[in-house]
């Protein structure tokens, strides 16, 4: 009877690194360790050629065939897209007291298509359990695309939308700020469809709004909307940058969720 013991798995930004304990043979009836264990070891060791030497080159037994099938399924799972925390997402800092800081990488495409040019970097806090997700290329109301999205099964969802402002102010003045577009009420009505996915935002939808001065003196408009939606918006150049944090009613009631969403919203900062 042959048993294999495996140590813990660690994920790094450069890929997967696994360690395995050696396979132990209690009875010397095999010419080599069974291929079911070896197949898993080839996966977990990243295909180390030295691990392949000594495998018996003969037809697999039923036990070996089943082990090989399990290893193949495991390999397929590893090849699927992983979440940001598991892979050490680019731009995500190591956590401090359970909070990381995401800074948009300069090389990130954002799925904005031709003609957008470089996107200025921004940052925000990311609580533990939140992962960057994809699968939304081309989304956005009126052609204003979602730049990125993070989600937490227990904590909600956030999106950053980057939208041109020339439909509201043209030509765009030098050193333009969000105040050049108009009041907080005018801005939330103007960009409401980007926040809601097409529905307008009316005055009765606004529970609270304020003007906040950022670290570099840039003004931000901050909103609490009905439906557990928190928004922070600012302008740099000819683009508006908006972060939207949302939660379901069940998520909102959980301890700490509301506080985390406010932390994310209030930490949003366009860095240039």
Contacts 24+ apart (CB under 8 A), 55-59: 56/30, 56/31, 56/32
Other C-beta atoms closer than 10 Å to the C-beta of 191 total 25
Q: What is the pLDDT of residues 41-84, one digit of tens each?
A: 323 333 444 333 333 344 555 444 544 554 454 444 344 444 44
Q: Report pLDDT for 115.
A: 56
Q: Are 185 and 169 in contact (CB under 8 A)?
A: no
Backbone dihedral angles phi then psi of residue 52, each to the nearest 5 degrees: -85, -15
| Greater pLDDT, 179 or 10 | 179
pLDDT exceeds 60 at position 231: yes
The secondary structure element, H or E, covering residue 245 is strand 239-246
Q: Which of 226, 232, 234 is nearest to 245 (CA)?
A: 232
CA angle 249, 254, 257 (to 5 degrees): 90
Segment 132-168, tens digit of pLDDT: 987 665 555 555 578 889 999 999 999 999 988 988 9
Which of 69, 134, 125 lies closest to 100, judged by CA?
Answer: 125
Q: What is the pLDDT of residues 111-124, one digit of tens each?
A: 555 556 788 999 99
| pTM for the predicted model, two decimal places | 0.66
Q: Tokens standing for 74?
A: 């495991």
Q: Quick one: which of 174, 186, 172 has its CA closest to 233?
A: 186
């Amino acid at each position: 009877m042959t048993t294999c013991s495996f140590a813990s798995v660690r994920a790094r930004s450069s890929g997967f690194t696994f360690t395995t304990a050696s396979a132990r043979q209690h009875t010397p009836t095999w010419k080599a360790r069974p291929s079911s264990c070896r197949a898993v070891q080839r996966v977990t060791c990243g295909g180390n050629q030295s691990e392949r030497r000594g495998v018996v080159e003969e037809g697999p037994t039923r036990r070996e065939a089943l082990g090989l099938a399990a290893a193949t399924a495991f390999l397929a799972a590893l090849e699927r897209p992983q979440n940001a925390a598991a892979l050490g997402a680019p731009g995500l800092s190591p956590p401090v007291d359970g909070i990381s800081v995401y800074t948009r990488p300069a090389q990130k495409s954002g799925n904005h298509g031709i003609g957008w040019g470089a996107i200025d970097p921004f940052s925000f806090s990311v609580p533990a359990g939140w992962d960057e997700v994809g699968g939304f290329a081309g989304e956005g109301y009126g052609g204003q695309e979602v730049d990125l999205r993070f989600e937490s099964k227990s904590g909600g969802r956030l999106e950053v939308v980057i939208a041109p402002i020339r439909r509201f102010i043209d030509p765009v003045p030098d050193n333009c700020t969000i105040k050049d577009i108009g009041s907080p009420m005018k801005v939330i009505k103007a960009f409401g469809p980007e926040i809601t996915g097409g529905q307008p935002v009316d005055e009765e939808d606004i529970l609270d709004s304020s003007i906040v001065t950022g670290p570099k003196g840039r003004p931000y408009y901050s909103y609490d909307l009905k439906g557990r939606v928190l928004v922070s918006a600012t302008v740099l150049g000819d683009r508006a940058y908006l972060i939207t944090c949302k939660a379901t009613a069940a998520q909102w009631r959980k301890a700490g969720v509301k506080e985390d969403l406010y932390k994310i919203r209030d930490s949003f900062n366009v860095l240039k």
